Chain A
Amino acid sequence: MTAFRTPNFRGWQVVVLHREDAGMRRLARQLERFGVTCHIAWPKLESLDLAVKAVFFDGDSGYDGLFPWPAGQPPVPLIALMRSEAPGRLEWVLSQGISSHLVKPVQSTGVYSALVLASHSFEQTQKQAARVEALKTRLRLRPEVIRTILTVMRLDGSDEDSAFAVIRAAAMERRMTVEAFCAVADERSLRGLLPQRRHGGGLGRA
């Protein structure tokens, strides 16, 4: 069992998009206890400083265009501050792509876990999105793989499995995915992969 590293937010900057009140000042004080600097802004965030690592925002009064990024695509973890549980509000908050939430009035308890959960969840979501993107690319290139297998089979006179093995070995050697390799491989470069002896025989038959 590996040790769960103690989450550490030392040196973080966060933005709180909420009208300043006693609750928000309490939130800011609690964040400072984790080593986090907090900027309170309302009613609009013009731009997001690159140093900002998370954004808390008012889920009760938030509106379209509140954030300086395309709706639902926050570049940092978003944490909703909620008092209302009206489905319409929850729907809006969800559409912003939140990573966690805190119930108002904000108390000392809950801020740390909201930040830990949000940063973890955001990171997971980012990783998953990157994986999905990579898988989509590979899916898109599947016809290229088929084309390349057929080419090797034709050149080499081998079956599908051994053709694929040749391709995979070549891709690995070049530190590429099979799909990326197939997308750039042409008949000439493929011929270069095949052993001279069988290469010659294959050509002879062709």
Chain B
Amino acid sequence: MALKTGEIPLGILYSVTGTYSLIGQACLDGVRLGLEEVNEDPRYPFAFRPEIEDPGGDIDRYLAFSEAMLRERGCRHIIGTITSIGRKEVIPIIEKYDALLWYMCPYEGFECCENVIYTGACPNQHIVPLFRHLLPRYGKRVYLVGSNYIWGWETNRTARELVHASGGEVVGEKYLAFSSHDVTRIIEDIRDQEAGFVLNNLVGTSSYAFLSAYHEAGRSDPGFAPENRPVVSCNLTEAELDSIGAAAEGLLSTAIYFDSLESAASRAFRERVRQRFGTAQRNSVYLVNAYIAVKLLAEAILVCGSDEIEAVREALFGLALETPLGVAAIDRRTNHATLRPYIGRGAADGSFKVIEAAPAPIVADPYLVDFDARQFGLEVNRRSATQLRVVK
């Protein structure tokens, strides 16, 4: 049945105010760009009508906003939520109305809801490749910091498992409340513990405060220099690098997209973003992935002729849409995207230089079913031996 020309309401739920507003803004920019392209493109016989709400990072507002979108404004799809708390708050209402949530941020895994499409990286696409890179190079004494909620706890737990599997040691683990800037004691503890590297799972302004203090400590103590003891993360992107300034130099991060990627698709997208938002705008995985979510949804609706979620999901699994990340692929088994992780090194100008790329896109394994800790440890130790020979 052909879809009649008309409007399709689309819920957009991002916190563009509050502690992680920079990420929310990048997501919203990506959604906007996607919406404009779809709505102007005559190929699509429909236009999205965005229903935008800003929960302001206040967890109590996610449920009411999403319910209003689904019940009163006719939305069947919501693109949104950044933190896992936000996503988990929304899922019951999404399930109740049998709608579809498009979640496109990296997260800690161990979830597979049939009413969610996951296009961000999960652990086998972020922390596992990141630690496979780091442990042979910076040693196996690891310090873990994080914001006091599920993302920090669980990503650090996975990190601990990886470190132990490699025969290493977690020399410290500290958490800060959301928005807390109380980082001095953590810095002093890191100094005392002589870690090889520091995994930073803080979010938003806590993270900026920590990185700034760490950078400051590096002025007098070479132990804090990025070449000696880098700070690494699974969720730091260009969206936030500008606000970190000089402290961004030498930070390592893993992401499924960096603005500096030199593929033709990536260059073209970078150009488009600059035309739309101006030259100051730096592209990030949040922006690109939110953009892709809109395009995937539009394309799936075009193929199946409806915004019914069953039909959209079925169409989505069969799509081969060209995106700035390459050809998008959503795995039918898990509703998760197949993604190629990269590791980037931050520069003071707010960019990331890509220093490693996975040889091929990796199918998401949200429950780490195919992950073998023992195998990981063996591989890390084999690489450590190679790495040492290279250094000598």
Contact = CB atoms under 8 A, between A and B. Distances in A.
A112 B113 CA distance: 11
Contacts of A92: none
A147 B53 CA distance: 81
A34 B113 contact: no
A138 to B, nearest CB: 36
A5 B161 contact: yes
B160 A112 contact: no
A112 B110 contact: yes
Contacts of A112: 110, 367
A34 B370 CA distance: 9
Given A4-B157, A6-B161, A109 B369 contact: no
Interface string B162-202: 01100000100000000000000000000000000000000
B277 interface: no
Nearest to A107: B95
Given A2-B164, A4-B157, A10 B110 contact: no
A127 B371 CA distance: 28
Interface in A1-21: 1-6, 8-10
A38 to B, nearest CB: 14
B161 A30 contact: no
Nearest to A8: B369
B368 interface: yes
Interface residues of A, number: 20
Contact of A26 (B91, B114, B369, B373): B114
A160 B76 CA distance: 81
B43 interface: no
A10 B366 contact: no
A185 B133 CA distance: 61
A26 to B, nearest CB: 7
Nearest to A11: B369
B373 A108 contact: no
Nearest to B366: A33
Nearest to A26: B114
B157 A10 contact: no
B125 to A, nearest CB: 15
Contacts of B368: 6, 8
B327 interface: no
Interface string B361-392: 00000111111010000000000000000000
Contact of B111 (A3, A8, A109): A109
Contact of A34 (B91, B158, B164, B369): B369
Contact of B91 (A6, A10, A29, A109): A109
Contacts of A6: 158, 161, 368, 371, 373
Contacts of B112: 30, 33, 108
A3 B113 CA distance: 26
A35 B113 contact: no
A60 interface: no
Given A3-B157, A5-B373, A35-B369, A109 B164 contact: no
Q: Is the interface of A mostly helix, strand, loop or mixed?
A: loop
A108 B367 contact: no
B367 A33 contact: yes
A10 B111 contact: no
B333 interface: yes
Interface in B82-129: 91, 95, 110-115
A38 B310 CA distance: 23
A109 to B, nearest CB: 6
Contacts of B333: 32-33
A26 B91 CA distance: 16
A15 B366 CA distance: 23
Interface string A24-44: 001001101111000000000
Interface in A167-204: none
A30 B112 CA distance: 8
A33 B164 contact: no
A35 to B, nearest CB: 4
A3 B114 contact: no
Interface string A118-161: 00000000000000000000000000000000000000000000
Given A30-B112, A109-B111, A9 B161 contact: no
Nearest to A30: B112
B323 interface: no
B334 interface: yes
B157 A9 contact: no
B334 A33 contact: yes
Contacts of B91: 109
Given A109-B113, A112-B110, A10 B164 contact: no
B334 to A, nearest CB: 6
Interface string A69-86: 000000000000000000
B159 to A, nearest CB: 9
Nearest to A34: B367
Nearest 7 A/B pairs, CB to CB: A35-B369, A3-B161, A3-B160, A108-B113, A3-B164, A33-B112, A10-B369
Interface of A: 1-6, 8-10, 26, 29-30, 32-35, 107-109, 112
9 contacts: A6-B368, A6-B373, A32-B333, A33-B112, A33-B333, A33-B334, A33-B367, A35-B367, A108-B115
Given A10-B369, A109-B111, 10 more contacts: A1-B170, A3-B157, A4-B157, A6-B368, A8-B369, A10-B370, A35-B369, A107-B113, A112-B110, A112-B367
Interface of B: 91, 95, 110-115, 157-158, 160-161, 163-164, 170, 333-334, 366-371, 373
